[in-house]
Amino acid sequence: MINVCLYLTPFLYFQPIRKEEYAIKGKFILRFIFIYLFVFSYLPAQQLQRPYVDDQSKYTTVGNIGMTISNFGTFGHAWAFPDQPSCEYPKDSGVEHLYLGGLWIGAIKDGFVRVSTGAVEYGSVSDLGGGFEFTAAEKDVTIERSTYADSPFYDPDFAVSHQDFVADFTDTNTTVPGTTIQIPDHNPLGIAVHMETYAWDFPFADDFVIFNYTITNVTDVPFDSLYVGMWADLVVRNTNLTPPRVGSPFYRHGGSGKMEDLHMIYAYDYDGDPPGTSDSYVAIRLLGGQESDGAQYVPN
């Protein structure tokens, strides 16, 4: 559920797919939209070294949002790459809107509640701990596509937008692929996720990024009461004036809220300190979903 809060009071947006229980054995498609974009939570985590197979090098370069998107269920980069935007708007402005975020999926399986989390609060996306439970295959990097004919990633057959990112990841691994490192406290649901993100360079569509997830139960056991959410640590600050690594001075100007009729949460710099230097808002909105049999889920 969503709670209105000021500063960085913890809250979480976790969207039920249906109000009643139901079983899912196949695929479910879910779409989120990020409008110049992004929730905050503290969870303890054991240190876990991510391997070379993780791809965090991709970030949107078309449109007016620069956002890092990985191939293991996270977005943003927790200030790990100073020369790469986490979620910057406008581009090249230095105004950031996101520390780190990730996909969360929960369900009842075999009578027990299980939740697989893509991200939790931690210091670095390259040196993560428990709570980062999605992994990519050892050679499965993020693919880029484009509808631009002059792009090196031009793909007239499959591209949807001016810049698509495509990646596949899963929660089925209990160790980090390519290592013997255990993923702490991880009890897999048994899901595979196909992610596609879309960004455009049109002046009327350059301030959002769409995330399109296809979630597949790869086990023989159906899920009941499937829940899908986006966890995100949203913070709007001008990094030219306040560097992210100064600690609490960077985070203590945060405001946030919700618009229930739009299924949207948002965050902002509540006093624009100094005034006029970070006036944008960042938001996440659920667009809807579709089951494998074609049944549509549209937020009321």
Q: Is 263 among the domain residues? A: no
pLDDT at 253 over 90: no
Residue 117 · residue 106 · CB < 8 Å: no
State pLDDT tens for residues 94-148: 999 999 999 999 999 999 999 999 998 865 545 556 789 999 876 778 999 999 9
Q: Tell me the pLDDT band of 205, cut-offs 50, 70 and 90.
A: very high
Contact in structure between 163 and 144 (CB atoms under 8 Å): yes
Buried b (16+ CB within 10 A) or exposed e, 56-79: bebbbebbbbbbbbbbbbbbbbbb
Q: What is the mean pLDDT of residues 30-42?
A: 43
**Is 268 inside any structural domain?**
no
Does residue 273 lie in a domain region?
A: no
DSSP string, 46-77: --EE--TT-----B--STT-EEBB-SSSEES-
Q: Is the pTM of this model over 0.85?
A: no
For 77, residues 6+ apart whose C-beta sits below 8 A from its C-beta are: 56, 68, 84, 86, 100, 125
Average pLDDT over residues 204-218: 92
Q: Which of 207, 5, 225 is nearest to 110 (CA)?
A: 225
248 phi, psi to nearest 5 deg: -55, -35
Backbone φ/ψ region at 17: left (φ over 0), alpha (ψ -120 to 50), beta: alpha
Of the candidates 282, 218, 229, the residue with the CA atom closest to the CA atom of residue 73: 229
Lowest mean pLDDT among 21-30, 83-92, 93-102, 175-184: 21-30
Tens-place pLDDT, residues 38-96: 333 333 333 444 444 667 889 999 999 999 999 999 999 988 888 999 999 999 999 99
Give the pLDDT score at 252.
85
- Which is it for the CA torsion 145, 151, 156, 157, positive or negative? negative
Of 14 and 235, more confident? 235
Please tell me the distance from the alpha carbon of residue 144 to that of residue 166, in angstroms, as a whole number.
Answer: 6
For position 129, what pLDDT does the model report? 60
19 pLDDT exceeds 60? no
More confident residue, 1 or 259: 259
pLDDT-based confidence at residue 300 (cuts at 50, 70, 90): low
Average pLDDT, integer, range 217-227: 89
* Structural domains in the chain (count): 1
| Burial of 142: CB neighbours in 10 Å, binned 0-12, 13-18, 19+ | buried
Closest to 213 measured CA to CA, from 32, 26, 19: 32
3-state class (DSSP) for residue 29: strand
Residue 137 domain-assigned (yes or no): yes
Region of 268 on the Ramachandran plot (φ > 0 left; ψ -120 to 50 alpha; else beta): beta
pLDDT at 190 over 80: yes
User: Structure tokens of 248?
Assistant: 């609490």
- CA of residue 39 relative to chain centroid, distance: 11
| Residue 6 belongs to some domain of the structure | no
CB 39 within 8 A of CB 234: yes
For residue 100 the two structure tokens come to 């780190």
Which has the minimum average pLDDT: 26-35, 69-78, 151-160?
26-35
Q: Poorest-confidence range of 38-42, 72-76, 181-185, 276-280?
A: 38-42
Longest dimension (CA), the chain: 56
Residue 202 lies in a domain: yes
Q: In the prediction, which pLDDT does 25 show?
A: 52
Least confident interval from 48-57, 90-99, 220-229, 244-253: 48-57
H/E segment holding residue 249: helix 248-251
Q: Is 264 inside a domain boundary? A: no
Q: Is residue 225 part of a domain?
A: yes
Enclosing domain of residue 141:
17-251+280-294
Residues 6+ apart with CB under 8 A from 119: 73, 74, 100, 101, 102, 103, 131, 132, 231
